[in-house]
Amino acid sequence: MLTGRSPSTPSDDRARPDVAVVGAGPIGLSIAWRCAARGLRVVVHDPASGSGASAVAAGMLSPVAEAYFGERQLTELLLASAARWPAFAAELTEASGVQLGYRTEGTLVVGLTGDDLAEARRLWAYQQGLGLPVTPLRPTELRDREPALAPRVRGGALASTDHQVDPRLLVPALRTAAQRAGALLVPQAVRHLSEVDAAVTVVAAGCGAADLTGLPVRPVKGQILRLRAPGGVAPGFRHVIRGYADGETVYLVPRTDGEVVLGATVEERSDTTVTAGAVLRLLRASVDLLPELAEYDLVETVAGLRPGTPDNAPILGPLPGRPDVLAATGHHRHGIVLTPVTADLIADLVTTGVADPLLTPFQPDRFAGAEPGPGGRPDQMMEEDRWNSR
Amino acid sequence: MLTGRSPSTPSDDRARPDVAVVGAGPIGLSIAWRCAARGLRVVVHDPASGSGASAVAAGMLSPVAEAYFGERQLTELLLASAARWPAFAAELTEASGVQLGYRTEGTLVVGLTGDDLAEARRLWAYQQGLGLPVTPLRPTELRDREPALAPRVRGGALASTDHQVDPRLLVPALRTAAQRAGALLVPQAVRHLSEVDAAVTVVAAGCGAADLTGLPVRPVKGQILRLRAPGGVAPGFRHVIRGYADGETVYLVPRTDGEVVLGATVEERSDTTVTAGAVLRLLRASVDLLPELAEYDLVETVAGLRPGTPDNAPILGPLPGRPDVLAATGHHRHGIVLTPVTADLIADLVTTGVADPLLTPFQPDRFAGAEPGPGGRPDQMMEEDRWNSR
């Protein structure tokens, strides 16, 4: 077992790693942590750890409220990962010494108008049909839980098991835990998989996976805002609030330190500019739901790129014809909630060679015949064409 | 005459200045420039030139559209200063080599709803009663001038003589011109007037004038946004647009480089936080008036503090009992438009000792008996009490 060796020992640096991870966001780092803790020699490559989608993510752990029509297999994976989150968070805090802002007050889903509520109720009925714990609340129950909600808000439901974590605390915690377990972080970009020499390579590069693998991963722009309660106090609400407001959808994530993350747009664009219209729509919906937010400081406006896939589900498993290269990307809007299950199951795959049945729907080969990602380079596209040919 | 000497000559540095100016914003710098150009030995004190209200100002030169009920004397000063602006801008560009973004397309005042238009028309009638050039436009004329205006906009008027300048170009230009004329800029704060040794001291310290003089200058918070047209092109409109939109007032100032300044709140507060509610109100009104702004990048959200006075008019002239100390502050929302007339008339006062009749309504002694500014220190308040006693 290699666990506990110093990553800075020169002889270790020169040894061929068991695992090379490309990408030091939550997915790559958690895989590296799990593999290193099992005694594997792990190197993680990223010129800017934590600068991808996780820097913009809100950190909602919402398999229930995000159980959408037609995404049943994804919902199962989300539920499996959310169930792992409490133990994962405890273990990570133990390993890193970092508190993660893990909060268990649950999520309220609310509708501002009658139309908004009708739309929300359709989804609740679907979620209840799956046996998920979403509980419609009477208006008095809703106000008892969150008195700051606007009087206009017509109704809501509680998803008590949908928690939250702070992604900007998660990434440094994972970095510390991975390094303490012996993983070596190399702050350099990988432009081509041939630059990596390891027994197994894990591509956890988010949108960058398209260029590296030819997989159909595309950037999906999201704009978010960060507010801060005035006077350094905690926000005037405790639940994550997911709102339907005059046809817009918005979420509001309160942190104990006073921060509120407010998001998010979902745009088929690859730029990261913040637009006036997006800020307007997010603020309007939010202030309509929670009027006191108008008095909060607006401290950050930012856009990031989520790694989207043709079916909006992640890509988890070996590249066709390349059993030594595992994809762990395409997490789209679900990277934070899917971190524990991705880490555990990819680490299992690395160490045992056996894929958990949970991974079956998310294999890279499901896109056989699909167009490659927009960033796919010609040589990689040809390679993909080869493995995708029937 | 001292004009043309190098400000870095040690013997000059040690000589007692003719004029010490406290504050290197547009007002202080323009006074310094004018005085230095007349051969006076000038020193300007400011630890952060251009970091005050001018950094946040939009640069509208709008004596007509800003001619409000009950401010007739202020309107006369605004008109006098705006009339000086074309020559001032030309002379300053000549002296500094800096283009100021001076634009003469004029200002459109528009009303979104019938109520908004009714409110605007009341003011136009008042302005026309003063003989000011504000010309109501037929809807087709309005659209011919600015096709990007929302179809909902009910009506508007043209104030063709209300121009604009870019304050972030103005301040460096004035700094260069003042220095080239021989003024010495000292990047240090003045905490008390006793720290300054000069024949005449000009207090052009914006809100800081309260602490230095005990004058009733108070901070009036303004929040503004800066947008940028996507793709690096000029904005899709050319006039300054001042809008009434569902009871909100907003202005939109297009720059040729693609920037749009969008403002502004007027708040009786002394903090400089940007609030969600202000950004929401500014964006909503602006996008309602000019829908294409929704697609613009939001590149800056910022708040500044205007130096307000009890009657919202500037304070221009000697402190009571201190003929050697001249106030040039309290310009509130009008600092940029009032720069030329302030510079000329204060420089006249310094060199001739005679006050132009235009200055008469704006003397410091009009606040005799008034409360001092909130920042007034006890010793200065006592001093003011002395001079204010009847």
Q: Are A183 and A110 in contact (CB under 8 A)?
A: no
Our CA angle for A328, A331, A332, nearest 5°, is: 150
The yes-or-no verdict on residue A389 having pLDDT over 90 is no
What is the b/e burial string over A192-211, where b = at least 16 CB atoms within 10 angstroms of the residue's CB? Answer: ebeebebebbbbbbbbbbbb
Residue with tokens 């304070």: B315
A 273-292 residues inside an 8 A Cβ radius of B: 273-277, 279-280, 283-284, 286-287
Percent of chain B with pLDDT strictly greater than 90: 89
Strand order in the sheet with B200-203: B184-186, B42-45, B19-22, B200-203, B322-329, B315-319
A341 and A295 in one domain? Answer: no
- Say what the pLDDT of residue B15 is: 81
Q: How confident is the model at residue A14 (pLDDT cuts 50, 70, 90)?
A: low
Q: Mean pLDDT over residues B59-86, rounded?
A: 97
Using the 3D structure, point to which of B287, B307, B327 is the last residue of a domain.
B307
Q: Does B298 touch chain A (CB under 8 A)?
A: yes
Q: What is the rounded distance in angstroms from the CA atom of residue B328 to the CA atom of residue B206?
A: 8
- Comparing B34 with A384, the larger pLDDT belongs to B34
- Say what the pLDDT of residue A293 is: 98
- Comparing A246 with B382, the larger pLDDT belongs to A246
CB contact under 8 A, A276 and B296: yes
Q: Mean pLDDT over residues A169-181, rounded?
A: 98
Q: What is the rounded distance in angstroms from the CA atom of residue A68 to the CA atom of residue B210?
A: 60
* pLDDT tens string B268-325: 999 999 999 999 999 999 999 999 999 999 999 999 999 999 999 999 999 999 999 9
Rounded to a whole number of angstroms, the distance from the CA of B294 to the nearest CA of chain A is: 4
A370's enclosing H/E stretch is none
**A227 closest CB neighbour out of B225, B276, B296:** B276
Beta strand A248-254 with A200-203 is unpaired
**B279 closest CB neighbour out of A230, A273, A298:** A298
Dihedrals phi, psi of A327, to nearest 5 degrees = -90, 140
B150 and B14 in one domain? Answer: no
Q: Which residues contact A176 (CB under 8 A, 6 or more apart)?
A: A95, A96, A97, A98
Q: Which of helix, strand or coil describes residue A121?
A: helix
B 116-155 residues inside an 8 A Cβ radius of A: none
CB contact under 8 A, A275 and B294: yes
**Of the listed ranges A323-337, B13-27, B43-57, B127-141, the one predicted with least confidence:** B13-27
Q: What is the rounded distance in angstroms from the CA atom of residue B135 to the CA atom of residue B160?
A: 8
- Say what the pLDDT of residue B369 is: 66
B357 and B242 in one domain? Answer: no
Using the 3D structure, point to which of A262, A285, A307 is the last residue of a domain.
A307
The yes-or-no verdict on residue B382 having pLDDT over 80 is no
Q: Which residues contact B273 (CB under 8 A, 6 or more apart)?
A: A230, A297, B303
Closest-CA residue of B relative to A278 is B294
Q: What is the rounded distance in angstroms from the CA atom of residue B364 to the CA atom of residue B326?
A: 9
CB contact under 8 A, A287 and B276: yes
CB contact under 8 A, B280 and A277: no
CB contact under 8 A, A294 and B275: yes
Rounded to a whole number of angstroms, the distance from the CA of A281 to the nearest CA of chain B is: 9
Residue A220: name the closest of A272, A262, A159, A144 by CA.
A272
How many interchain CB pairs under 8 A, A with B?
A: 69
Q: What is the rounded distance in angstroms from the CA atom of residue A325 to the CA atom of residue A303?
A: 30
B211 and B172 in one domain? Answer: yes
Q: What is the rounded distance in angstroms from the CA atom of residue B241 to the CA atom of residue B142?
A: 11
**B279 closest CB neighbour out of A230, A277, A279:** A279
CB contact under 8 A, A275 and B296: yes
Q: Are B242 and B193 in contact (CB under 8 A)?
A: no
Q: Are B314 and B331 in contact (CB under 8 A)?
A: yes
Q: Are A376 and A384 in contact (CB under 8 A)?
A: yes
Residue B329: name the closest of B225, B201, B175 by CA.
B201
Q: Which of helix, strand or coil describes residue B169?
A: helix
Query: Which residues in chain B have Cβ-Cβ distances shorter than 8 Å to A297?
Result: 273-276
Query: Which residues in chain A have Cβ-Cβ distances shorter than 8 Å to B296?
Result: 275-276
Dihedrals phi, psi of B155, to nearest 5 degrees = -175, 175
CB contact under 8 A, A277 and B293: yes
Q: Which residues contact B389 (CB under 8 A, 6 or more apart)?
A: none
Residue B344, both tokens: 């000329």
Q: Mean pLDDT over residues A111-138, rounded?
A: 97
**Of the listed ranges A83-87, A370-374, B18-22, B163-167, the one predicted with least confidence:** A370-374
Q: What is the rounded distance in angstroms from the CA atom of residue B33 to the CA atom of residue B25?
A: 12
**B279 closest CB neighbour out of A273, A277, A283:** A283
B96 and B187 in one domain? Answer: yes
Rounded to 5, what percent of chain A is helix, strand, coil? 40, 25, 40
- Say what the pLDDT of residue B387 is: 31
Rounded to a whole number of angstroms, the distance from the CA of B225 to the nearest CA of chain A is: 10
Q: Give chain A's domain count.
A: 2
Q: Are B41 and B19 in contact (CB under 8 A)?
A: yes
Closest-CA residue of B relative to A231 is B273
Q: Are A153 and A291 in contact (CB under 8 A)?
A: no
- Could you tell me which residues are beta bridge partners of residue A218? A308
CB contact under 8 A, B274 and A294: no
Using the 3D structure, point to which of B289, B307, B325 is the last residue of a domain.
B307
Q: Does A225 touch chain B (CB under 8 A)?
A: yes
A198 and A97 in one domain? Answer: yes
CB contact under 8 A, B298 and A295: no
B146 and B41 in one domain? Answer: no
**B276 closest CB neighbour out of A274, A276, A283:** A283
In sequence order, what DSSP letters do the residues of A234-248 get, joined into one string? PPS--SEEEEEETTE
Instruction: Residue B94: count other Cβ atoms within 10 Å of its Cβ.
Output: 10
- Could you tell me which residues are beta bridge partners of residue B137? B156
A90 and A40 in one domain? Answer: yes
Residue with tokens 């103005």: B170
Mutate to test the interface with B, among A226, A227, A273, A280 (most CBs of B within 10 A): A280
CB contact under 8 A, A276 and B294: yes
The answer, yes or no, to whether ipTM is higher than 0.90 is no
A13 and A80 in one domain? Answer: yes
A178 and A227 in one domain? Answer: no
Q: What is the rounded distance in angstroms from the CA atom of residue A337 to the CA atom of residue A330?
A: 13
Helix axes A339-352, A26-37, angle to 10 degrees: 40
- Say what the pLDDT of residue A15 is: 81
Q: Does A231 touch chain B (CB under 8 A)?
A: no
Query: Which residues in chain A have Cβ-Cβ distances shorter than 8 Å to B279?
Result: 279, 283, 298
- Say what the pLDDT of residue B390 is: 28
**Of the listed ranges A11-15, A306-310, B82-86, B252-256, the one predicted with least confidence:** A11-15
Q: Are B61 and B162 in contact (CB under 8 A)?
A: yes
Query: Which residues in chain A have Cβ-Cβ distances shorter than 8 Å to B275?
Result: 294-298
Domain that holds residue B362: 1-103+163-217+309-390
Omega within 30 of 0 (cis) for the link into B264: yes
* pLDDT tens string A54-85: 999 999 999 999 999 999 999 999 999 999 99
- Say what the pLDDT of residue A368 is: 78
**A276 closest CB neighbour out of B276, B277, B293:** B293
Task: Read off the CATH number of the domain in which B155 is found.
Answer: 3.30.9.10
Query: Which residues in chain B have Cβ-Cβ distances shorter than 8 Å to A230?
Result: 273
Q: Which residues contact A298 (CB under 8 A, 6 or more apart)?
A: A225, A226, A227, B274, B275, B276, B279, B301
CA B13 distance to own-chain centroid: 31
Task: Read off the CATH number of the domain in which A186 is found.
Answer: 3.50.50.60
- Say what the pLDDT of residue B368 is: 78
**B295 closest CB neighbour out of A277, A286, A296:** A277
CB contact under 8 A, B280 and A283: yes
Residue with tokens 């056996």: A354
B238 and B291 in one domain? Answer: yes
CB contact under 8 A, B284 and A284: yes
Query: Which residues in chain A have Cβ-Cβ distances shorter than 8 Å to B294?
Result: 275-277, 280
- Say what the pLDDT of residue B77 is: 98
Helix intervals (H) in chain B? 10-14, 26-37, 72-96, 114-129, 139-145, 167-180, 209-213, 276-289, 339-352, 378-388
Q: How confident is the model at residue B371 (pLDDT cuts 50, 70, 90)?
A: low
- Could you tell me which residues are beta bridge partners of residue B318? B326
Q: What is the rounded distance in angstroms from the CA atom of residue B102 to the CA atom of residue B62?
A: 13
Q: What is the rounded distance in angstroms from the CA atom of residue B38 to the CA atom of residue A134?
A: 78
- Could you tell me which residues are beta bridge partners of residue A202? A21, A326
Rounded to a whole number of angstroms, the distance from the CA of A354 to the nearest CA of chain B is: 48
A122 and A7 in one domain? Answer: no
